[in-house]
Amino acid sequence: MAGCVHERDGHAARPIAASSLAYDRTLATAQINEAAWPDDKWWHAYGDAQLDALMTEALAGSPSLQIAQARLRQAQAVATSAAAPRLPNTTVDAETTRQRYSANSIYPPPFAGNWCTDGRVALDFSYDLDFWGHNREVLESARAGVRAAEADRAAARLALTVAVARAYFNFSLQFALLDIANASLVQQNTILDLTQQRASRGLENIARVKQSEGSVALTRAGVRYEEAAIRTVRAQLGALVGAGPDRGMDLQRPALQPPQKIELPTALPADLLGRRPDIVAQRWRVESATRGISAAEVAFYPNVNLAAFAGFQAIGLGSLFNGGSAIAGAGPAVSLPIFNRRQLRGALQLQQAQYDYAVAQYNQTLIDAVNEVANVVTNWDGLVKESDEARIAEDAAQSAYSISKDRYRAGLDNYL
C-alpha cells in the first residue's frame, strides 16, 4: 500500500534556522541585557498617561483587531469540525415511502401489485476506526491553524500598538519642531529689528532690511507648516484608535519620558522564533501544512468504518412500532480508493505546494525580522553619535549667534 502514495518532492523547501543567518558583526555595537525583553504593555515605560489612554482605546475599538479575532473564530470552527470524525456518529433517521409493489417480485399478497406505505425509524451508528491516522492529521492541521490565527491576532495587536506609538512620537516631534520654528521666528524678528535700527541711522541700506523681512516671512511659513503637521498627526491618531479625526483635537502636547538606557536581549535573534508573533504564526502554518501532507498521503490507504443500526421497519405504518417490526444490524465497511487516484494525487500535490509556500513565507518572515533588528541597532547607534555631535554644534551655534549679535549691535559687523 505504501507504493500507492505519491512520494514527496526530495527538493521540498525547508525552514531555515535563525543561527544560519550572519548577524554577529552587525549587532556587535548593541548594548545587551539578560532581562531586556519588553513586557506586554511596553509603552508604559514612557510614563505618558495620555499615550496609555490612546493605547487602551485602540485595543478596545480597532477594526484590525476585530478582523484578527474573527479569523481566529473561523480557525476554531474549522478545528471543531475537524474533531467530529474522530468521534462516533449517531443519528436518528425516520423515513416513509408511498410506493406500488411489483406483483412479480418477492412481496406476497396483499402487498404484491398494490400501493402501500413503508416506514422506517432507526438509530444509526457509525465510527471511523482511522487506522492510518487521517482524521488525526486533519485535526492536528486545523489545531495548528488555530495557533497560527492566535499568533496573527497577537501580531495585529503589536502592529497596532507600534503604529499608535510611532504616531504619538511623531506628535511629540512635531511640537519640538514647532518650538524650533518659533524660536527661529523670534530670532529672525530680532535680526529684523536690529537691521531696521541700523538702517534708520544710515548704517544699513534698505536691501538688508528687505532681506531680513524675507527671512522673517520664510520662517513664519515654517511655523505654519509645523502647525499643519501637528493637525495631521492629530487626525492620524484619532483614526488609529478608531474614534475619528476629531478625537485627536482633544490631545495635549505629549509628556514622554523616554528610558535613559535602551538595551537588547542577549539571545537575539534566536529568541525571535518564540517572541515575534509574525514568526510564530508562520511557523504554525508550516506545521499545519506538514500535517496536511500526512493526511493527503494516508488518503490513499483503505478506510475501515464500523456501522450499526437499531429500530423499526414495516410495510404499513400501523404496525411500524410492533415488536415484530424491530430491526438491528452491525458490521464493518471497507473502502479502497481505486478509480479516484488522480484526484487523491492532485490533493497531495496541492498540500505539498502549500507546504512549500508556508516554508517560503516563514523563511522570508524570519529574514525580514532579523534585518529589522539589524536596522534598528544600526540606526540607534548612528542616532546616539549624531545626537552627541548635534549638541556640540548647537552650543557652538548659540555662542556664535550671541557674539555676532553683540558685534552687529556695536557696529563691528555689517550683517547677521
pLDDT in tens, 205-239: 888 888 888 989 999 999 999 999 999 999 999 99
Exposure string over 397-411, b if 16+ CB within 10 A, otherwise e: eeeeeeeebeebeee
Q: pLDDT tens across 298-320, in order?
A: 989 888 889 998 999 988 788 88
Query: Residue 34 pLDDT > 60, yes or no?
Result: no
pLDDT at res. 10 = 47
In the CATH hierarchy, which fold is given to the domain comprising 2-387? Outer membrane efflux proteins (OEP) (1.20.1600)
The b/e string for 118-146 (b: 16+ C-beta within 10 A; e otherwise) is bbbbbeeeebbebebbbbbbbbbbbbbbb
Q: Whole-angstrom Cα distance, residue 370 to residue 304?
A: 49
Average pLDDT, the chain: 84
Distance CA 208, CA 408 (A): 13
Pairing of strands 32-33, 326-335: unpaired
Range from 156-160, 195-199, 252-256, 264-268 carrying the lowest mean pLDDT: 264-268
pLDDT for residue 59 is more than 70 = yes
Q: How confident is the model at residue 401 (pLDDT cuts 50, 70, 90)?
A: low
pLDDT at 3 over 60: no
Tell me the pLDDT band of 408, cut-offs 50, 70 and 90: low
The pLDDT of 381-387, averaged and rounded, is: 69
Structural domain spans, the chain: 2-387
Question: What band does 355 get if pLDDT is binned at 50, 70 and 90?
Answer: very high
Contacts of 294 (CB under 8 A, 6+ apart): 133, 137
Distance CA 395, CA 184 (A): 15
Please report the pLDDT score of residue 11 as a whole number. Answer: 46
What is the phi-psi region of residue 97: left when phi exceeds 0, alpha when psi lies from -120 to 50, beta otherwise? beta
pLDDT at 18: 66
| In the predicted structure, residue 8 carries a pLDDT above the cut 60 | no
| Average pLDDT estimate for 124-148 | 92
Among 167-171, 260-264, 351-355, whose mean pLDDT is lowest?
260-264
pLDDT-derived band at 103 (thresholds 50, 70, 90) equals confident
- State the pLDDT at residue 2: 44
Query: What is the longest distance spanned by two Cα atoms in the chain?
Result: 137
Least confidently predicted of 177-186, 188-197, 230-239, 285-294:
188-197
Q: Which tens digit of pLDDT belongs to each residue from 69-99?
A: 999 999 999 999 999 888 889 999 999 999 8
pTM assigned to the model: 0.76
User: Per-residue pLDDT averaged across 146-169, rounded?
Assistant: 93
Task: List, for residues 240-274, the tens digit of each pLDDT value.
Answer: 998 888 888 989 999 998 776 666 666 565 565 66
